[in-house]
């Protein structure tokens, strides 16, 4: 299994789920009902996440997520999708706009 997307915004999560459902991409939802545990658990541990059941769908599914959250003005994605640096190949978290390894922009 591979993590595809996470967000605190229920509308973003539903948009991604709807697109994955429409394309019959198999996924599971982690922490869907964990919001009541915030305070007992750190918010990061209770954030809703979408995970692909079969990693072979990752390329297609990540394109779906990127298309949903593409910023109209500069073409940079603003989603929680992890990405690989085109300069050094390092994997970075989706919230980072700069590679943590080589400091090159996304």
Q: Is the same domain home to 62 and 78?
A: no
- Tell me the whole-structure pTM to 2 decimals: 0.58
- Based on the structure, what is the number of domains in the chain? 2
Spatial contact of 8 and 35, defined as CB atoms under 8 Å apart? no
For 87, what's the count of Cα atoms within 13 Å in the CB-facing half-sphere?
Answer: 10
Q: What is the pLDDT of residues 1-45, one digit of tens each?
A: 899 998 878 888 898 999 999 999 999 998 876 555 555 665 556
CA nearest 52: which of 83, 76, 78, 30?
A: 30
CA nearest 6: which of 25, 24, 32?
A: 32
- Residue 71 pLDDT: 47
Q: Is the same domain home to 61 and 22?
A: yes
Q: Is the same domain home to 84 and 34?
A: no
- Residue 64 pLDDT: 86
Q: Is the same domain home to 23 and 58?
A: yes
Q: Is the same domain home to 39 and 91?
A: no
Q: What is the pLDDT of residues 51-99, one digit of tens each?
A: 999 999 999 998 888 888 764 334 554 556 777 888 888 888 777 778 8
- Give the list of residues 6+ apart from residue 13 with CB closer than 8 angstroms, or none: 5, 7, 48, 50
């Amino acid at each position: 299994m591979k993590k595809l997307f996470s967000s605190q915004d229920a509308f973003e999560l539903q948009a991604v789920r709807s697109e994955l459902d429409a394309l019959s991409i198999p996924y599971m939802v982690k922490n869907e009902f964990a919001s009541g545990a915030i305070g007992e658990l750190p918010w990061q541990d209770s954030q809703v996440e979408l995970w692909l059941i079969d990693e072979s769908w990752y390329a297609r599914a990540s394109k779906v997520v990127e298309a949903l959250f593409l910023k109209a003005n500069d073409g940079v994605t603003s989603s929680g999708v992890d990405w690989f640096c085109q300069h050094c190949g390092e994997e970075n978290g989706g919230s980072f706009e700069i590679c943590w390894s080589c400091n090159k922009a996304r």
